[in-house]
């Protein structure tokens, strides 16, 4: 019995060539389709992965806060004005305060240096109350404020720290009551309809300066009206930032402070290696 010819063998050479070309094109198109399909699902998977990735362990700023300002160069002056904006219980604010205090003590006679507060709170009623307590301490007991703050950043025990500087709740009660009344601090805290993003009570004492400087979170260092973002959280780095803002740096700027950094939060334990360079970690930004 004679063998049957294959389909291609039954065609003449011209027809076979045409069929072969058509088949090749179909194969190429099929491969291209499969590649494109694979890329589509790969991109889709990547997008989903990004959308569901866990948030960083740094709280986002409330949506009601203004957009982050563009960097502004610090203008030099004969007597720099230095303002550190914090939330009293923000661990990164506390870390910065521990670096800020030695530089403040060194340069307090040559520059106007103080602590102010971010215009919202993220750590509950205790933070709202501690912000006001510190505001009154700095306003009415400025000579004792730095000693209190050093104690508070170490232990977090405000009653004990007040005792160490010879004060009590009663000694601040008049100022605290008047401040709450003037700025309606506790009224705003109790009325959750006024909270930013429905989550964060307003803290309005320095709201105008927060807006003026574009303060987003804690800590924010402002020198001569400009935010300074590239400062490591060590006493020496803070000192250098302040000293670089003088027209003529005073002799105190020749002193070298520690370049060691402390852990975020309460306590003066040393931070892990390199933690002082992490100037970006903050509450609310």
pLDDT digits (tens, 9 = 90+) for 20-41: 544 554 445 445 544 444 444 4
- Decide if pLDDT at 204 tops 90: yes
Ramachandran sector of residue 261 (left: φ over 0; alpha: ψ -120 to 50; beta: rest): beta
pLDDT at 62: 60
CB 251, CB 280: distance < 8 Å = no
Supply the pLDDT for residue 243: 98
User: Mean pLDDT, to the nearest integer, of 242-253?
Assistant: 98
pLDDT of residue 67 exceeding 70: no
Residue entry with tokens 């939060």: 265
As given in the structure block, the two tokens for residue 193 are: 């309809």
| Vertex 254: Cα angle to 253 and 259 (nearest 5) | 80
CA distances from 160 to 167, 169, 171 (A): 10, 11, 14
For residue 105, the tally of other CB atoms under 10 A from its CB is: 15
Q: Is the pLDDT of residue 76 over 70?
A: yes
pLDDT of 153 strictly over 50: yes
**Predicted confidence (pLDDT) at residue 54 exceeds the cutoff of 70:** no
CA 55 to centroid of chain Cα atoms: 14
Q: Enter the tokens of residue 96.
A: 């910065």
Q: Report pTM.
A: 0.76
Q: What is the reported pLDDT for 73?
A: 79
List phi, psi (to 5°) of 121. -115, 150
List strand residue ranges (DSSP E) for 20-161, in order. Answer: 81-86, 112-117
pLDDT at position 122: 98
Question: Is 80 exceeded by the pLDDT of residue 60?
Answer: no
Which residue from 162, 158, 153, 160 is spatially nearest to 101, judged by alpha carbons?
A: 153
pLDDT at 275 over 60: no
Instruction: Sort residue 225 into left (φ over 0), alpha (ψ -120 to 50) or beta.
Output: left
Give the mean pLDDT of the chain. Answer: 83
Q: Which residue has 């105190």 as its token pair?
A: 252
> Residue 70 pLDDT more than 80?
no
pLDDT band, very low/low/confident/very high, at 277 (cuts 50, 70, 90): low
pLDDT at 15 over 80: no
Residue 277 phi, psi dihedral angles, 5° rounding: -80, -10
- Residue 16 pLDDT greater than 80, yes or no: no
Helices 235-243 and 91-107 pack at an angle, to 10 degrees, of 60
Mean pLDDT on 149-173: 97
Q: Which of 124, 132, 283, 125 is nearest to 219 (CA)?
A: 283
* Residue 101 pLDDT exceeds 90: yes
Q: What is the pLDDT of residue 278?
A: 59
């Amino acid at each position: 019995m004679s063998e049957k010819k294959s389909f291609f063998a039954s065609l003449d050479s011209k027809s076979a060539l045409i069929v072969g070309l058509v088949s090749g094109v179909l194969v190429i198109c099929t491969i291209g389709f499969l590649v494109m399909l694979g890329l589509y699902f790969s991109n889709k998977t990547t997008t989903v992965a990004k959308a569901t990735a866990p948030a960083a362990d740094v709280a986002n700023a409330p949506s009601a806060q203004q957009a982050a300002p563009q960097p502004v160069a610090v203008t030099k002056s004969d007597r720099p004005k230095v303002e550190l904006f914090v939330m009293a219980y923000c661990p990164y604010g506390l870390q910065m305060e521990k670096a800020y205090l030695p530089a403040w003590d060194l340069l307090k006679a040559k520059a106007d240096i103080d602590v102010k507060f971010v215009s919202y709170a993220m750590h509950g009623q205790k933070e709202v109350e501690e912000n006001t307590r510190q505001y009154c301490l700095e306003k009415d007991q400025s000579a004792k404020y730095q000693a209190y703050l050093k104690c508070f950043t170490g232990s977090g025990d405000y009653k004990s720290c007040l005792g160490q500087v010879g004060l009590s709740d009663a000694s601040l009660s008049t100022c605290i009551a008047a401040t709450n009344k003037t700025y309606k601090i506790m009224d705003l805290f109790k009325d959750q309809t006024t909270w930013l993003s429905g989550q964060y009570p307003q803290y309005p004492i320095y709201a105008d300066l927060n807006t003026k400087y574009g303060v987003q979170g804690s800590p924010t260092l402002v020198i001569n009206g400009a935010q300074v973002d590239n400062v490591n959280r060590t006493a020496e780095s803070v000192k250098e930032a302040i000293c670089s803002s003088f027209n003529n740096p005073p002799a105190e700027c020749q002193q070298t402070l520690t370049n060691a950094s402390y852990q975020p939060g309460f306590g003066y334990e040393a931070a892990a290696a390199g933690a002082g360079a992490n100037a970006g970690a903050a509450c609310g930004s």
